[in-house]
A and B are shown apart, each in its own frame.
Chain A
Amino acid sequence: ETGVTQSPTHLIKTRGQQVTLRCSSQSGHNTVSWYQQALGQGPQFIFQYYREEENGRGNFPPRFSGLQFPNYSSELNVNALELDDSALYLCASSLNRGHDNEQFFGPGTRLTVL
């Protein structure tokens, strides 16, 4: 069974650019959640996708958007990058939506915005 994978591992961008981060969910999982972990902080919920639809969203502006594909892999897109977007972006998959489903995390993508 393959765990959650993310790509790329590291990324450096400049202010104003756009970035796409990718996540492959664990086999059999139909729900993907994205989190932002700034330095010295715990992960913060960005949004969740369930069966290709956005299923919930945290307190992040619309320039953070996402997609989920029929194979349940997912993308996180960030437009008009700002310095404060520098963080570790974590993807987590779960068997289903709902609070009784354990989330399994990927290794993350470290984004640096200069």
Chain B
Amino acid sequence: AQSVSQHNHHVILSEAASLELGCNYSYGGTVNLFWYVQYPGQHLQLLLKYFSGDPLVKGIKGFEAEFIKSKFSFNLRKPSVQWSDTAEYFCAVNAPLYSGYSTLTFGKGTMLLVSP
């Protein structure tokens, strides 16, 4: 079974600080990787995704993530956070479990609080 581990449950940063959120997954085969964000009172939104190709993917709002296959990691980064980045961030893996069927497996989430 696939699983996802997010390293920090809570992160507090000041505006303009750099952000890196860790994510490791366990699955031996081909995976698709995602970072979702949930702003307060809003629904889950896709930040970025990796399916194949360049392991450094860029998403919305200045976020990027790097897929390192040898480390089973997909860490999220942003060079300079803003107060509006305060939200909960979820790493997710989508792997084919059976032919034509797959599911998203999420980590427990990281709550990011950015102080102005």
Interface residues of A (CB under 8 A from B): 33, 35, 40-45, 48, 50, 55-56, 58, 90, 92, 97-100, 102-108
Taking the closest CB of chain B, its distance from the CB of A55, in whole angstroms, is 5
How near does chain B come to A91, taking the closest CB pair, in angstroms? 10
A-B contact pairs, 12 of them (CB 8 A): A35-B106, A45-B103, A50-B100, A55-B100, A56-B97, A56-B102, A90-B43, A98-B102, A99-B95, A100-B32, A102-B49, A107-B43
In the complex, B25 has a CB within 8 A of chain A? no
Main secondary structure of the interface of B (DSSP, over half): strand
The number of residues on chain B lying at the interface, defined by a beta carbon within 8 Å of a beta carbon of chain A, is 28
- Complex contact A102–B46 (CB within 8 A): yes
Q: Which of B73-114 contact A (CB under 8 A)?
A: 90, 92, 94-98, 100-109
Across the interface, which residues of B come within 8 angstroms of A50, CB to CB?
100
Given A41-B108, A56-B102, 16 new contacts (CB under 8 A): A33-B103, A40-B108, A42-B90, A43-B90, A43-B104, A44-B106, A45-B103, A48-B101, A55-B101, A56-B101, A58-B103, A98-B101, A98-B102, A99-B94, A99-B96, A104-B46
